[in-house]
Amino acid sequence: MRGPRVTDTTLRDGSHAMKHQFTREQVRQIVQALDAASVPVIEVTHGDGLAGSSIQYGFSGTPEMELIETARLEASRAKIAVLLIPGIGTRQELREAAQRGVQVVRIATHCTEADISEQHFGLAKELGLETVGFLMMAHMRPPEFLAEQAALMESYGADCVYIVDSAGAMLPDDVRMRVRALKECLSVQVGFHAHNNLGLAIGNTLAAIAAGADQVDGCLPGLGAGAGNAPTELIAAVLDRLGINPGLDVFKLMDAAEYVVAPIMPYQPIPDRDAITIGYAGVYSTFLLHARHIAAEFGLDPRELLVELGRRQAVAGQEDWILDVAVDLARAEQKVACPRSGRATDRDERSSQ
Amino acid sequence: MAPQVKVAILGSGNIGTDLMYKILRDPGHLRLALMAGIDADSEGLARARALGIPTSHDGISAVLDDPEIKIVFDATSARAHVRHAPLLREAGKIAIDLTPAARGPYVVPPVNLGQHLDEPNVNLITCGGQATIPLVYAVSRVTPVRYAEIVSTVASRSAGPGTRQNIDEFTFTTARGLEALGGAEQGKAIIILNPAEPPILMRNTVYLVPAVAFDQEAVIASVEKMVADVQRYVPGYRLKSPPVFDRRSTPWGERVVIAMLLEIRGAGDFLPPYAGNLDIMTAAARQVGELFAQHLLGIREEAVA
């Protein structure tokens, strides 16, 4: 085994937990710390990628292009990456990010929709950027299917394709089979992005590396959507113990997690009951805070919303479906709860016995 | 029988074929005189022949050869329409453009159809635009709208290769339509493809940030009226609930945001009912064609079916 390239996405996936309120100063400090610890790639974007600033996902406190530029100026060795989700971001924002000095673009689609990314890979290559394809919600399709989608991204110009466990729903065997399928089918690199909703982010990252993953993602100290991602400082420590540390400074990353990121986090993402439900039901990790907000307004348990969203096969970016489900569930509960004066429903009769 | 105008459909793919069925089911003042494609073996042309509609697989030339054809629905591609637009114009034919080419002004039937009846070419924006612009307009006609954001979620199966290869154009064009026709100061559009089985109905969410304090009852009444207007040509157009008023933080401070959850069930003329995104395009095209036909025939103010 050899050490994978580690991309830190505190400043992108962590943006969800921060409700997209990272400031220039925070970006400056975090990039400085990661760069000093020899992290080779740092992703900086709104949590939902370029142009994600919206009512649907939450508005950015500081325009992302300013944060990207700040990161670029601060990094001496690390490359700066951005996320682009076709359907949300467009080639227009990609051009602007490239003008601000971005070197890597990670282009993400739902794991069945790789063919909407062709024009974006095309432009990225024209601009001379390194390209990574992201197959999101990859737990929803089997390994062979994902390999076909990954091959499409490779044909469009991806230098690496990731299996993305957006829901934190995979078990180590799920990861191993998917990474292996891509390794067998592609001639470019393969990556893996974990979420910790079932407490398996580090375990799954190790399973991916054992299966041949060339790139993995982390966040200091796991600051990301849902229960967060694999903590970058933990990835470094574990790779070091495995004897495959790709050059990361373990102590500096621990310090960065503890003294730079932890003090500004609104909370430490952990697999609490709502986050576990996300992994269990297989829904997009970023639904966490939105589901809590809407559940509170409608007097519902967020877990009811999340399980129903999983049943309806919601995909990445469908935060507006949370409101749909809340409206439907609230209406259904009224139907059961209201007719007390008339004929009691079965549920009322049972509960009164 | 009502007087009729000869029309042609250019493009024998899914959209052109669905439009053919819509016109045949409810012709109004339209007489479908030609279905033109470029593939002699296409299913659309075969279906047209079986129904006794004259066909051609020679592209636009058969359309240009018949001087009696006054209205042409172009359901080909943006690139093809860029080529077709000047030819149709020179031939004195009105073009109703279902592609994103946008050679002529944008049209959404219940918003501005009457204003462009003397134009040689009108454009139907995008499916997301046809779906959501009426709701944005319904609000902006009672209170100014600072910002309009729409999220269109369509079944993967209903998104053809044209949409997939040009997804950015959906975003740009729809956002421009929210501003130009919807009346929003600033527009933003997001599109999501969902592969769930069975396929989901087309879903749109419209979020609006009004510019000033507003009367919620007036908004609800205007939206209800607009939904009824759209339902006259798209029967499967419905809001899942009355508008939701939710306090959110926005770049303009903490504001009451209006959220509307819209679902569209297609009529199932040719395309399956889940493809409400395609149905609203063909329904709008037929509606626009009908009004142009009435205008050409000198019929005024007739109730549009």
CA dihedral sign, ordered A56, A57, A63, A64: negative
Please give the average per-residue pLDDT across B204-216, as a whole number. Answer: 97
Question: B220 CB near a chain A CB, below 8 Å?
Answer: no
Task: Please write the tens of the pLDDT for every residue from B61-82.
Answer: 999 999 999 999 999 988 899 9
Among A55, A115, A135, A334, which would you mutate to test the B interface (most chain B Cβ atoms within 10 Å of its Cβ)? A55
Is residue A132 helix, strand or coil? strand
Contact yes or no for B205 and A54 at CB 8 A: no
Contact yes or no for B171 and A112 at CB 8 A: no
Pairwise CA distance, residues B282 & B20, whole Å:
9
Whether the CB-CB separation of A281 and A291 falls below 8 Å is answered with no
What ipTM, to 2 d.p.? 0.93
Determine how many CB atoms are found less than 10 A away from the CB of residue B217.
Answer: 9
Residue A222 class from Cβ within 10 Å (0-12 exposed, 13-18 middle, 19+ buried)? buried
Please give the average per-residue pLDDT across A156-182, as a whole number. Answer: 98
Average confidence score pLDDT of chain A: 94
User: How many CA atoms, within 13 angstroms, populate the side-chain half-sphere of residue B273?
Assistant: 7
pLDDT higher than 70, residue A347: no
Tokens 């966040």 identify what position?
Answer: A219
Q: Which residues from chain B sit within 8 angstroms of residue A120, using beta carbons?
A: 168
Question: B251 CB near a chain A CB, below 8 Å?
Answer: yes
Residue in chain B lying closest to A316 (CA): B192
Please give the average per-residue pLDDT across B244-267, as a whole number. Answer: 94
Please give the average per-residue pLDDT across A120-141, as a whole number. Answer: 98
pLDDT higher than 60, residue A352: no
Please give the average per-residue pLDDT across A313-319, as a whole number. Answer: 95
Please give the average per-residue pLDDT across B260-273, as a whole number. Answer: 95
Residue B1 binned pLDDT confidence (cut-offs 50, 70, 90)? low
Please give the average per-residue pLDDT across B21-30, as a whole number. Answer: 96
Task: Please write the tens of the pLDDT for every residue from A262-302.
Answer: 999 999 999 999 999 999 999 999 999 999 999 999 999 99
pLDDT higher than 50, residue A195: yes
Residue A338 binned pLDDT confidence (cut-offs 50, 70, 90)? very low
Question: B256 CB near a chain A CB, below 8 Å?
Answer: no
pLDDT higher than 80, residue B151: yes
β pairing state of B237-239 and B253-264 = antiparallel
Active-site residues of B: which are they? 127
Q: Which of residues 126-165 of B touch A (CB under 8 A)?
A: 147, 149, 151, 153, 156, 161, 164-165
- Ramachandran quadrant class, A228 (left: phi over 0; alpha: psi -120 to 50; beta: rest): left
Angle between helices A118-126 and A91-99 (to 10 degrees): 20
Question: B4 CB near a chain A CB, below 8 Å?
Answer: no
Q: Which residues from chain A sit within 8 angstroms of residue B168, using beta carbons?
A: 86, 90-92, 119-120
Question: B190 CB near a chain A CB, below 8 Å?
Answer: yes
Q: Which of A7-21, A215-229, B237-251 has the lowest mean pLDDT?
A: B237-251
Angle between helices B43-50 and B14-25 (to 10 degrees): 20
Give the DSSP per-residue string, B169-211.
HHHHHHHHHHHHTT-EEEEEEEEEEE--SSPPPEEEEEEEEES
Please give the average per-residue pLDDT across B11-36, as a whole number. Answer: 96
Whether the CB-CB separation of B136 and B154 falls below 8 Å is answered with no
Whether the CB-CB separation of A100 and A65 falls below 8 Å is answered with yes
pLDDT value of position B284: 98
Residue A346 binned pLDDT confidence (cut-offs 50, 70, 90)? very low
Residue A167 binned pLDDT confidence (cut-offs 50, 70, 90)? very high
pLDDT higher than 70, residue B302: no
Pairwise CA distance, residues B36 & B73, whole Å:
10
Residues from A contacting B (CB-CB < 8 Å) are 51, 54-56, 59, 86-88, 90-92, 110, 112-113, 115-116, 118-120, 297, 312-318, 320-321, 323-324, 327-328
Question: B78 CB near a chain A CB, below 8 Å?
Answer: no
Please give the average per-residue pLDDT across B105-128, as a whole number. Answer: 95
- Nearest CA to CA, how far is A35 from chain B (Å)? 32
pLDDT higher than 70, residue A344: no
Question: B205 CB near a chain A CB, below 8 Å?
Answer: yes
Whether the CB-CB separation of A132 and A159 falls below 8 Å is answered with yes
Active-site residues of A: which are they? 16
Residue in chain A lying closest to B251 (CA): A59
Residue A126 binned pLDDT confidence (cut-offs 50, 70, 90)? very high
Please give the average per-residue pLDDT across B109-126, as a whole number. Answer: 94
Residue A336 binned pLDDT confidence (cut-offs 50, 70, 90)? low
pLDDT value of position A349: 34
Round to the nearest angstrom and report the end-to-end CA distance of chain A: 62
pLDDT value of position A2: 74
Whether the CB-CB separation of B75 and B9 falls below 8 Å is answered with yes
Among candidates A92, A313, A318 on the partner chain, residue whose Cβ is nearest the Cβ of B192? A318
Q: Which residues from chain A sit within 8 angstroms of residue B190, using beta carbons?
A: 54, 56, 87-88, 317
- Nearest CA to CA, how far is A266 from chain B (Å)? 17
Give the DSSP per-residue string, A196-236.
-TTS-HHHHHHHHHHTT-SEEEEBGGG-SSTT---BHHHHH
Q: Which run of H or of E encompasses B85?
A: helix B78-90
Task: Please write the tens of the pLDDT for every residue from B158-182.
Answer: 998 888 988 999 999 999 999 999 9
Whether the CB-CB separation of B7 and B30 falls below 8 Å is answered with yes
Q: Which run of H or of E encompasses B155?
A: strand B145-155
pLDDT value of position B100: 83
Q: Which residues from chain A sit within 8 angstroms of residue B193, using beta carbons?
A: 87, 110, 113, 116, 315
pLDDT value of position A333: 80
User: How many CA atoms, within 13 angstroms, populate the side-chain half-sphere of residue B142?
Assistant: 20
pLDDT value of position B160: 85
Residue B102 binned pLDDT confidence (cut-offs 50, 70, 90)? confident
Residue in chain B lying closest to A310 (CA): B196
Please give the average per-residue pLDDT across A213-225, as a whole number. Answer: 98
pLDDT higher than 60, residue B113: yes
A297-304: long-range contacts at Cβ-Cβ below 8 A with a sequence spacing of 24 or more?
A: A297/A326, A297/B246, A298/A326, A298/A327, A298/A329, A298/A330, A299/A330, A300/A326, A300/A329, A300/A330, A300/A333, A302/A274, A302/A277, A303/A273, A303/A274, A303/A277, A304/A329
